[in-house]
Structure 1
Amino acid sequence: MMPTITSFYAGLLALLYLALCARVIFYRRSHLISLGDKGDKALLKRMRVQSNCAEYAPIGIVLLLLLEAGAAAPWLLNLLGLMLLLGRLAHAIGMSQTPQIMILRQIGMVLTLLMIGLAALFAVAFAIF
């Protein structure tokens, strides 16, 4: 059976990632920077926002998929998926602004790390019991 809940959140996170990629690509093209960041702090910030999403979202998606494959309750999967999605979105918005909106970055990281931690604990508990 298709893991529909994980697919939903993975799809939305992939769209967020594509939007962050587009921000980097369009900035590079408009400023004629093809490699590296050439010391451009605005480009570096865009690159880090994109990279941060790429660093945290995959582990959350994998954990969500494992829980769905293990028949976790849909309410739990949706709660965890929403935490990951909102966490990555809040972090991206907060970090993208100048000056940064630190509370959004912090909320984003708390939601993301809490989701990963809870999903990891549930995965271990489901495997043992």
Structure 2
Amino acid sequence: MDATPSAHAAALWVGLHLILLLVLSVLVVRQRRKHQVVLGDADIPELTQAVRAFGNATEYVPAGLVAVAVLAVAGAQPIVVHAVGLVLFAGRVAHAIGLSRSGGSSILRSAGATATWVAYILGAVALLFYAIP
């Protein structure tokens, strides 16, 4: 049985988010090795920022990907799956870059959080739409 175009769209976004999580994880390991820290962040700002960038992504990405996958299963148009996946991915990348550059607030960090919430709203509305037969 061939996968649907929506399933292909979901596969793209799940794959890209997995790569993002892997990159953020590697950045944590790199900082741990650089500063010889095995556990925690030892109050080293660069390590703290790397840990939070990864941690924040792991807090928000799974629910977004559930929305992407369920939209594909529910038969949503591929453009809907792509919209949610793209906005979520752009938001998570922007947030990670913003947080990695500064522990304080930044335009990228704020834009990333906002885009993530927009992806959640788009996903939620689309899921409710496709839930009604």
TM bin (shorter chain): over 0.9
**Which residue of structure 1 lines up, in the alignment, with residue 99 of structure 2?**
95
Spell out, residue by residue over 1:10-48, the C-alpha distance to the aligned partner (whole angstroms, 9 max, x if none): 111111111111111011012110011122122111100
Spell out, residue by residue over 1:31-75, the C-alpha distance to the aligned partner (whole angstroms, 9 max, x if none): 110011122122111100000111101101100110111111111
Distance 2:85 2:110 in 1: 18
Structure 1 unaligned segments of length 5 or more: list them: none
Runs of 4+ more than 2 Å apart: 98-101
Pairing partner for 2:23 from 19, 25, 40: 19
Structure 2 unaligned segments of length 5 or more: list them: none
**Does structure 1 retain, via aligned residues, the 8 Å contact 2:80–2:126?**
no
TM-score, normalised by the number of residues in structure 1: 0.92
**Which residue of structure 2 lines up, in the alignment, with residue 79 of structure 1?**
83
Distance 1:101 1:109 in 2: 11
TM-score, normalised by the number of residues in structure 2: 0.90
Distance 2:104 2:85 in 1: 25
**Which residue of structure 1 lines up, in the alignment, with residue 39 of structure 2?**
35
Aligned sequence identity (%): 33
Distance 2:17 2:115 in 1: 14
Pair 1:43–1:24, CA change in 2 (3 A) = same
**Which residue of structure 2 lines up, in the alignment, with residue 47 of structure 1?**
51
Pair 1:99–1:53, CA change in 2 (3 A) = closer
RMSD (CA atoms)? 1.5
Distance 1:99 1:111 in 2: 19
